[in-house]
Structure formats: structure tokens, C-alpha cells
Structure 1
Amino acid sequence: MHAPVTRRPNTVAAIVRTAALALLAALAVAGLSAGPARAQDGDVAWTVRTASNSYGDDRSSFSYAANPGGQVEDTMIVANRGKDPLDLAVYAADGFTTGTGQLDLLPKGGKSVGIGAWVRVGHDRVTVEPGRTAELPFTVSVPDNATPGDYVGGILTSLTQPDDTEGITVDRRLGIRVKLRVSGELKPGLAVENLSVDYDGPGNPFATGDATVSYRIHNTGNAILSARQTVSVSGPFGWLRTQAGTIASPPDLLPGESWKVTVPVHGVAPAVRLTATATVTPLLTDASGSTTSLRTIRATARGQAVPWTLALLVAVLIAVATGAFLLARRTRARRRLREEARVRDAVEQALLDQGTRAG
């Protein structure tokens, strides 16, 4: 998660410290075990959890299904494990997938259009005494014109503290993920875009090289999707096909999000003309946790795999053969011209001899 930080120049240690805190908050929002957040002196700590109610007990996150125009009511519990009172800001924000594949939430004041705009918490701030807990009831109000599909965000508690030693203001955030599926026609879909293949071969024209296949997976539907992927590279007519190794699955992509994939393929023959094939099977997970494989998508792209040393050798041989051919043709032409001149001289001499005898 992105925490707003104000710092003075030349505070490298502060930057590293802030990055670590941001990672801690991101893990908490993603529903992983991050533990309570602690102040620098270790005296302040708090945790957040879901309330036990008709939606279930010991939930790791909030998950709902609702109709357009519908409402959902639930509660988040905040516990102060420290020795001092806590004054926390409370707000909701939309989620997004980071470049490392983790779920993150927009910072406070960010432009939310889904969960962050639809969730209303009873209080925008809460004070929790040491050793006590506080309930934070909230309501998810789905607009009448909400588009069917999946939405992800979170409810956050935030503690802003100055760090006089480092000269910065640190914003620690702990939150719980909120996933909402708005009823209506579910249209899951993935696209494979910008597929390309590059080849890097050794100097030995008879040895294999490495290809790199790159593409982008784009969630074009309205459901959260992951995918199973395979990649292969082949020569003309599908000959000399080489399969890539195991490819890590992309993270769960929210509707509209993209994920760049780069796959190395080793042992590729320099077949002059290469064809890369990416096969992607979208994976849809329902509310019960069951995963369904959707229709497989295949995309291809072509590239060059020219063994340049062999090509140079062939070019030299062609040049030598061409030179030899031209030299032989020139030699034959000169020989023919000499023969024609000899015949012409012989004819002229014979005519002269005949004229002399006639006189």
C-alpha cells in the first residue's frame, strides 16, 4: 500500500523504513498474516479482524454478493494491543494489483469508483483504549446502475505518526479486503496482446540458442481471473518445436487489469523463421473456492532465428561460386573470340591465295 510520507532530503534510512512499512500494510490488506503494526518505540500495536455474524466466523476477508441497488451491512473489529490510546483514521478504498502481483489499495484521497465509493463506515475516526476493542459497522450500498461483475477494495485503519529521529511522517495502515460480486450477466474474458519473440543464438551455426517470448494478459471481462499458461517455439511448418518450462501463473487480475509475461525458451534451433505460440487458459474461481477452466486462448507471433555465421559462410560460398561461374564464362567468351578470329584470318588468307593463283 502507498503510505503518504513527508521527509527531509538525504534520509536514506527513512526511505528504507517506509518501504518496509508499506510492505507490511500490503500483506495485511491482502489477507496474509502480517501481525499487528507497531510504532518505533514498540508501545503501540493494533489488529483488525472481521466480526462473527451471519456471514461467518473467523473470516480472513469480507466477501459478498449483491444486486444493483442492494445493501450489505457488516462490522470490522479493531483491537488495541498497546499501552496507549489509539486514534485511527478509518476509510475505504478501491483495490488494484501491483507490479509484484500483490493486492494494494488506493491511498486516502485517491479516486475510488467501486468499493471505495460504495462503502460507508459509521465513523471516519475511532479511538481505542489500551486492551480494548472497537466495533466499526459499515454499509456497502451498490448503485442501481452498477455494472455486473467483481469489485475488490478494502476498509483501512490508519495511524499517522511523526518520526523525529528520521525527520518523516509515517502512515501505518492495516485493513481488510472487501470483495463484492454484483449480480447480473458474468462475462469473464482474457486476451493475449503484443505477443513477440526474440532469438539469441551462439556463434556456432549448428548449436541451439535461447528465445524470449513476451506478451501481455489483459482481463477484458467483468470477473476476477487468473490463468494457466504454456509457451512453445517452432520452426517452419511446425518443425523443431521446443516447449518452455513451467510458467508461473499470473496473479488474480481484476477486471480491466493487465499483466506482462516474459518466458525464456531454451534449446531453440536456428530455424531461420520462428513461430511462438502462447496458450492461455483462463481460470475463474467462484464464491465456494472452486476453480473452473474457461475456453483456451491461443496467440502466435513470428520472428527471425538466422544462424549468422552459417549465413555468412553460405554467402561466401555463393560469392565464390558466382565468381567462378563468371570467370569461366569470360574465359569461354575469350576462347570463342580467339577461335572466331583464327577462322576469319584463315578464310581471308585462303581468299588471298585463290586470287593470286587466278592472276
Structure 2
Amino acid sequence: MRPTTTFAAIVALLAALGLAGPAAAADGDASWTVATAANDFGPDRENYGYVLNPGGSLTDGIVITNDGATPLHLAVYAADAFTAEGGRLDLRPEGAEQAGLGAWIRPQRPDVTVEPGESAEVPFTLTLPGDVAPGDYMGGVVTEGEGNQRLGIRVRLRVGGELRPRLSVEDLRVSYSGTPNPLGTGEATVAYTIRNTGNAILAARQEVSLSGPFGGLTADAGKVADTPQLLPGDTWKVSVPVHGVAPVLRVTGTVALTPLLTDASNSIAPLTAVRTTAHAWTLPWAALLALVVVGVLAVLGYRFARRRPA
């Protein structure tokens, strides 16, 4: 049963699976491509995207084409997505515990053999539990051959209900490195962790700045790259250098995050920014040392002058 509304497919693809378009070829000696089935959801889709209510179900399919010269035997399964190191989306391997789309998608058969130059379609059914929480879920339908070669198509699901897109900044810290120049400026590092505390897949636009007492002597970090898309519950560690920070005894570090939500038309909607601050000491050690040296020299000079005979 097809849902009443389909969620627009996201053009970005799972790099970990080698997918490069509506049909994609596997790396290595094996040669096959995968594509979405042409059906009521539309032809030539980049990947699978659905909106479905709790307890709902739908049927779709994956088409596998053998471009090699020998018969091709592949496993077919579904898997949950997760964010790997470096922000890259990956899929859990076959046999791993699956709690989301990897558990809800059932291919009609667990494997398939495709003759050279031929194609085979494997239907699959997505069935949601009645008590599934609303929000965004990510996974994939995967084909796997010998040598753990995997090729698949991403599945993005939005479960109907209240969508709560939220990001938070945690463990915000500001550290300062001074300068040997008593009249110069130093550098600071602003480090923090972004957590997706909502139920929607989000990226974040970031702005980082430092300001002195009463909001003066502001130093801006400049352009900070957007985060990758974060799944609900994901965290992303950030460390941003800020140059030209004056040693004004105490500074305030401000991080502003603008959540970026991809809507059903595949456009990005910026949401209300979240701001978090932290403080750090920026003591002018070089200037203080220079003052100490000048003071010591002044005292020594004064004592020497008093000891000189009249």
C-alpha cells in the first residue's frame, strides 16, 4: 500500500556504499548496478524517501543489473544508518542489531542470482510498528557480494506526528594562547559539542565570536563550515580557532547555531538560532611581565640612587 504522501528524495548519497546516481556500479572486480524500481513512486529516483504514519506500510523495490560476464549472487537486506567518524553516513552490516529501518524493511527474498547482462527486481515491504515515535529515520537497502562489496540505496523516512527539530551546544570551552608581544593580540580556541536533541535530521550553520568586557573588542572566527547532517541523538565535536584576540583579562565566547532542516520539497529551511556562551581569562602575561621587570628595575634604580654618596 502506498502512503498518501511521499517525502522528496535527498540527492546526497551514501559515499560508503559507492552510490553515484539513480544507477550505481560497485567497486572492484564484481560489476553490478542498483536502481530504484519504476512504480507509483516515480521513475529514476535518486533514492527512497517516504512519509508514513505509525502502523502504516508500503511496498517498493530495488533493481539489480549484472554488467559482468558471469552470474552474480548477492545478498539483499536492509540496514540502519549511523554517522561514522568524520561525519560520513554509513550502514550497519548484515547481522548487526537493527532497531529502525533495518528492522522494518523486509526484502521479499534474502538473496538473488542475476545472469550476465540481465536485471532482477527485488520487492521489499516497509511496515512501521504502531508505537513508533514520530520524526526522521535513515537507513538503506543493500546488496552485498563476495569480499564484503556493498552497494545500496539510501532510505529516508519521516514518521508522521510532531516534528521537533532541536540542536544544543554542550561542553563549550574557550582557551587562550597569549603573545610575547606586550602590545599584541593572541589566539583563542573555542571547542564544543553539538547534539541533535530533537527527532529531525539536521545540519547546523555555525557562527563563533569572542568579545571583551561590556561586549567590546569583538573577534570573529570568520567562516565556519556547516556541520554534516546529524541524525537524531548524534553528536558532532567542533574546535574553532579565533585570531586577533586582545588580552582584556576576560572574554565571552559565543556560539550561534542555526539548524538547517530539509523539507519535503528538498529545500533547506533555516530555523531559529540557538546561542550559548562561555567565559575565559585572557591575562596579558607579556605585559604583566614587562611591568614586573620595569618595577624591579625601578626599585633597584631607586635603591642604587639612595646608596650613592652625596
Give the TM-score, by structure 1 length. Answer: 0.77
Q: In the aligned structure 1, how far is the partner of 2:51 from the partner of 2:174?
A: 42
CA distance in 2, matches of 1:114, 1:322: 75
**Cα distance, 1:221 vs. partner?**
0.3
**2:283 maps to 1:306:** yes
Residues 151 and 103 of structure 1: CA distance in aligned 2, closer, same or farther (over 3 Å): same
1:74 Cα deviation from its structure 2 partner: 0.2
Compute the RMSD of aligned alpha carbons.
Answer: 2.3
| C-alpha deviation, 1:315, in angstroms | 3.1
1:164 maps to none
Instruction: Work out which of the residue numbers 24, 33, 36 in structure 2 matches 1:47.
Output: 33
| 3-state secondary structure, aligned to 1:249 | coil
1:215-294 equivalent positions in 2, closer than 5 A: 215-294=192-271
Confirm or deny: 8 A CA contact 1:31 1:61 kept in the other structure: no
* Alpha-carbon distance, 1:60 to partner: 0.7
Percent of aligned positions that are identical: 51
Q: Is the 8 A contact 1:30 1:103 kept in 2?
A: no
Counterpart code for 1:194: D
* Contact 1:188–1:225 (8 Å) recurs in 2: yes
- Counterpart code for 1:235: G
What residue number does 1:99 align with?
85
Partner of 1:339: none
- Structure 1 unmatched ranges of 5 or more: 1-24, 161-169, 332-359
1:154 paired residue number: 140
User: Quick check: 2:19–2:25 contact (8 Å CA) kept in 1?
Assistant: no
Residue 5 (structure 1) aligns with: none
| Residues 39 and 29 of structure 1, relative CA distance in 2, 3 Å threshold | closer
Q: Which residue of 2 aligns with 1:27?
A: 15
The 1:204/1:213 distance shift into structure 2, 3 A limit, reads same
- Check if 1:136 corresponds to 2:141: no
Matched residue, 1:18: none
Contact 2:18–2:26 at 8 Å: present in 1 too?
A: no
**Alignment match of 1:124 (pick from 90, 106, 110):** 110
Tell me which residue corresponds to 1:178: 155
What amino acid is the match of 1:158?
E
Cα distance in 2 for residues equivalent to 1:324 and 1:143: 86
C-alpha distance in 2 between matches for 1:245 and 1:152: 32
39, 48, 53: which one pairs with 1:67? 53
| TM-score using structure 2 length | 0.88
State how far apart, in whole Å, the 2-side matches of 1:195 and 1:99 are: 21
Q: Say if 2:174 and 2:191, in contact at 8 Å, map to a contact too.
A: yes
Give the counterpart letter for 1:79 in structure 2. Answer: T
* Separation in structure 2 between the aligned mates of residue 116 and residue 52 of structure 1, nearest angstrom: 22
Could you tell me whether the CA contact under 8 Å between 1:28 and 1:176 is conserved in 2? no
Shift of 1:211: 1.3
Question: Would you say the 8 A contact 2:80–2:139 is kept in 1?
Answer: yes
Contact 2:179–2:286 (CA<8 Å) still a contact in 1?
A: no
* Aligned residues between the structures: 293
Distance 1:26 1:145 in 2: 28
Q: 1: distance between equivalents of 2:220 and 2:49?
A: 39
SS in 1 for 2:102: helix
SS, match of residue 61 in structure 2: strand
Q: Secondary structure at the match of 2:149?
A: strand
Distance in 1 separating the partners of 2:122 and 2:24: 20
Change over 3 Å in CA distance of 1:104–1:57 after alignment to 2: same
> Which residue pairs with 2:26 in the alignment?
37
- Which position in structure 1 is the counterpart of 2:180? 203
Q: Which amino acid aligns with 2:202?
A: L
Q: Is the 8 A contact 1:105 1:154 kept in 2?
A: yes
Q: How many angstroms apart in 1 are the aligned matches of 2:104 and 2:17?
A: 18
Give the aligned residue type for 1:290: S
| Structure 2 residues without counterparts, runs of 5 or longer | 1-12
- 2:101 corresponds to which residue? 115
Q: 1:211 to 1:112 in 2, by over 3 A?
A: same
> CA contact under 8 A between 1:225 and 1:254: conserved in structure 2?
yes
Aligned to 1:57: 43
Higher helix share: 1
Instruction: For residue 76 of structure 1, give the secondary structure of its aligned residue in structure 2.
Output: strand
Q: Residue 57 of structure 1: CA displacement?
A: 1.4
Q: 1:159 and 1:31, CA in 2 relative to 1: closer, same or farther beyond 3 A?
A: closer
Structure 2 SS opposite 1:100 = helix
Measure, in 1, the Cα distance between the counterparts of 2:287 and 2:199: 51
Q: Which residue identity is paired with 2:26?
A: A
Deviations along 1:272-331, one digit per CA (max 9) or x if unpaired, are: 212111011111111211222222111111112222221112234456678899x8xxx9
For each residue in 1:80-133, what CA deviation from the matched residue of structure 2 results, as whole angstroms up to 9, or x when unmatched?
000000010111110011222221001111121000010000111110000000
Amino acid at match of 1:57: P
What SS does structure 2 have at the residue aligned with 1:147?
coil
